[in-house]
Structure 1
Amino acid sequence: MGRKRAESPSNIKFQYPDRSGPKEKTLLELAEERGLFAQAQKKQEENDLKAKAPNITKIPITKPKAKDDQDNEPPPLSPGAERFLETTLYTMSITMLHFTLDVLVQNQYSADRIVWPKVCMRALQALFVFGLLIYTLHAHSSNPTILPGLPARFQNHARQVIFLVTSVCSGCYLIHITNTYGYLAVMKQAPPVGCLWVWSVVELELPWAVLSLAVAGTYLKVRGYDIK
């Protein structure tokens, strides 16, 4: 089969290009009808405003608690209840200290075995005695007055003086009896006096507590005693 001969250029008709313009809508016209240019302009203006606007930190607003949540919260303790609980905490701590000192003294000086019922009875007595002292003398918002008739601004100073004198006297006396008295007196007096000394020092402010311990140490050195 022979190859088809291409049409001769002389047979092609020449025409002038159509200069009347497009017969259909252009892309620009379609975009303008749909408002794309207006949307782009609006978007550009919004971006410009955001770029010029100051950086404002948003603070979250906490919503108030619902009434049900407030009802579920336990009511705060009254000053009297707080004083009672604080007194109980201090008293139990001092009582355990008394029990420990009593056992240690009995173990060191007692020839017989430790009589636990007597130790527990003395601890129970210390519980009531120190409970009354702590409830009366311990500083608390519901008990600011320690000496009636004394101005309020001097009440704390009066309390510190009382505990300072108590700590110095009890500390020096404990050092004295453990170095000069017999074992029966030490067994009987050392636990309560030691607890009184510790509690008085705890109630003191730091400078006065250091001063009371310094006085006890000076008394120990001046009298030539040693720690047994």
Structure 2
Amino acid sequence: MTSLLTGRRCLLLDFDGPVCSVFAGLPDHVAAAELAAALDPPAPATVRDYTDPFDVLRYAAEHRPDEAAAIETRLTDIERRAVACARPTPDAAELIYDAANRPATVVAIVSNNSVAAIDAYLTAHGVRTQVSGIFARTCADVSRLKPAPTLLLDALDTLDIPASNAVFVGDSITDVQAGQAAGVPVIAFANRPDKVHRLTSARPAEIVTSMAQVRAQLAQ
């Protein structure tokens, strides 16, 4: 992993996983149920059984476009409540601080979560000023969300950083796919043992099991 971090000017981090566990205090299945209940007329039983709120948002965007904006706004409200009791990922805040204070290095967040929720969390945990940009969800257009590379490309363009000079840390296959599509090397964060094999199959540049590993390599 040293070759990935050495000399690169931009550390891009997914939010849910690498920075914190967003739905640790407000479970994602509860969030999904709240979103599904907001659909009018009532959603099909299959949608009411969703356990991922993003699946409900995608359903609304694809099948209830007139309701999609309201569902996205409701999801943002849920995320803001969730980050108030989110569980910080060990060493994540320290990594952000270390990277932001390394000469000529910038840190940015690239996430499917809402900009408002991410900003609230980073501010509450004292690292907002260390982050040069938040490139995340601002509307109900799910085509912009990962695995599409759009948010990563937005980050690179805004920060004026070539893909070859950045590294993206994410914890899902969709993160790896987005990074690959954007031409950015991906460090896959397997924050649970069962994710190691799954993430390996996506062929990221590297796999780590803790953010401390990324921080240690950054310090070399």
TM-score (norm 1): 0.25
Higher helix share: 1
TM-score (norm 2): 0.25
